[in-house]
Structure 1
């Protein structure tokens, strides 16, 4: 096993480009880290430079790591090495999420967690679609009139509470910190009303995926979602970001929206989030 640093992280980022769409989430984390965005992660591989498994895991030496939900994200090209890395390089003593895991790897996760007597469950109700835009020329941008165009801008830190209180997974301190980090460090788009208040918005997670698209109820049905996704996709392209998102399988509205804008998917691929609950007698006490 090797922990990657500096130029090694940049080399790994280029390797992961060859394995889209399955490598998008790990790639997104490396893209973020390599451009100086704040992180609580470390990146480990089974071998270097010809790695078969790459893992983004919490850096437990980082003093801010416990301020956020602990997440482990993996891209694997070899089941046997994947199993070995799970057994030996993932710290099972903490509660954490396997976040955005290739659903085909779920059986191995379940086997290893059972072997270690770890409680584990699916975090979301179903597997998740990964949609992406291979080329910006594929984007079907909606027509935006001049008045609406003038109301498209970015979120700022005064809007963190607004986003946190309306987000499906928000309403708590950890979500507040995640949203604050996203607004502070990544592109956002919003549409404001005549009182200069955001009524529709979209953000980018720390793994560079588009997310948290929301329109307040009284402004729905105006096409704001399409306008914001299109505007953000253009900005991400201009700034060198990947353009992709995860959509829960039962969220047919968002799925149809992104598909109508030209996003595509690999129908054979699904991602899952798995919640690992370590038994209390195995959880280390914090000093």
Structure 2
């Protein structure tokens, strides 16, 4: 990554990530920010360096502004978060930095808060980039205290277990957002972040699953076509929510605004809709139609 030594963006030392997480937790804004920072710190401490946290100098101390790069196979994800009321600073940084590679990677602005959407659109326009796809999601969250109260009852013949690399193919096959090479992406997700599956006890067949995303959220919740409407998604959401809560974070998930079934599930579980965020996928420059 070019320009690292003299760039407007510099790495945030791992020792400060907890402090930055506390800033967001105390603010009550952007509920997945604290989870991202603490989950990312844990991964870095474990020697998994696919995630990098950066800020313009020490501006993270003043207004919480930071950038997180998550480099998975076939996906280059950029998280941009700030507690500032203005997106002008974000626009200025993105126009100047060389540490975010707009040219060679298929980028995704990941879980972008609605407040920053206009600033990012300006960056895309002024850098002559093109949008492949934009997804708008509701942000649902629940307190860790309430998540710990979830009661889980398994249907007869069903067990839960940790997802392994060998399960990535079936997860990718049923994923509605699959893309060329996404099987490697899903494998990296499972390896780095983990997930939970529901299996038949008799055959060990995987029938439903959920993953923890790169920002420590509940994601890729799915049930195989022939096993739906049996309450499996509710069980998995409770299980992963409790796991996240045990780690000290408030469980959070993003749901497409058109996904009525998932919206109904989250609200039935007592999760609160606290706003919207965007996922913006950009074309590589050499593939712009």
- Indicate the TM-score class for this superposition, using the shorter chain for normalisation: 0.7 to 0.9
Taking structure 1 as the reference length, what is the TM-score of the superposition? Answer: 0.83
Counterpart position of 1:62: none
Cα separation, 1, equivalents of 2:64 and 2:197: 40
Alignment of 1:63-212 (within 5 A): 65=71, 67-76=73-82, 77=84, 78-89=86-97, 90-94=100-104, 95-120=106-131, 122-124=133-135, 127-137=136-146, 141=150, 144=153, 147=156, 151-170=159-178, 172-173=180-181, 175-193=182-200, 194-212=202-220
Q: Partners of 1:277 and 1:171 in 2: how far apart?
A: 13
Q: Which runs of 5+ in 1 are unaligned?
A: 59-64, 283-287
Contact 2:147 2:241 in 1 (8 A): no
- In the alignment, which residue of structure 2 is the partner of 1:35? 42
Deviations, residues 61-86 of structure 1 (Å, cap 9, x unaligned): xxxx4733111111121322122112
Counterpart in 2 of 1:54?
66
Contact 1:187 1:236 in 2 (8 A): no
CA RMSD, Structure 1 to Structure 2 (Å): 2.6
Q: Distance in 2 between matches of 1:53 and 1:154?
A: 34
TM normalised by structure 2 equals: 0.82
Unpaired stretches in structure 2, ≥5 consecutive residues: 1-7
CA pair 275-186 structure 1, distance change in 2 beyond 3 A: closer
Displacement of 1:281 after TM fit?
A: 10
* Distance in 2 between residues matched to 1:185 and 1:66, nearest whole Å: 10
Q: 1:190 to 1:56 in 2, by over 3 A?
A: same
Q: CA deviation at 1:220?
A: 1.5
Closer/same/farther in 2, CA of residues 217 and 101 from structure 1, 3 Å limit: same
Q: 1:182 to 1:136 in 2, by over 3 A?
A: farther
Please tell me whether residue 258 in structure 1 is matched to residue 266 in structure 2: yes
Q: Which residue of 1 aligns with 2:3?
A: none
Q: CA deviation at 1:138?
A: 5.6
Partner of 2:224: 216
How many residues align? The count is: 269
CA distance in 2: counterparts of 1:280 and 1:158, whole angstroms: 33
Distance in 1, Cα, partners of 2:124 & 2:192: 35
SS in 2 for 1:35: helix
Q: CA deviation at 1:241?
A: 4.3
Higher strand share: 2
Contact 1:164 1:171 in 2 (8 A): no
Show the counterpart of 2:234: 226
Q: Within 1, Cα distance between the matches of 2:19 and 2:152?
A: 39
- Cα 1:107/1:10, change in 2 over 3 Å: same
Find the aligned partners of 2:169 and 2:38 in 1 and give their Cα distance: 27
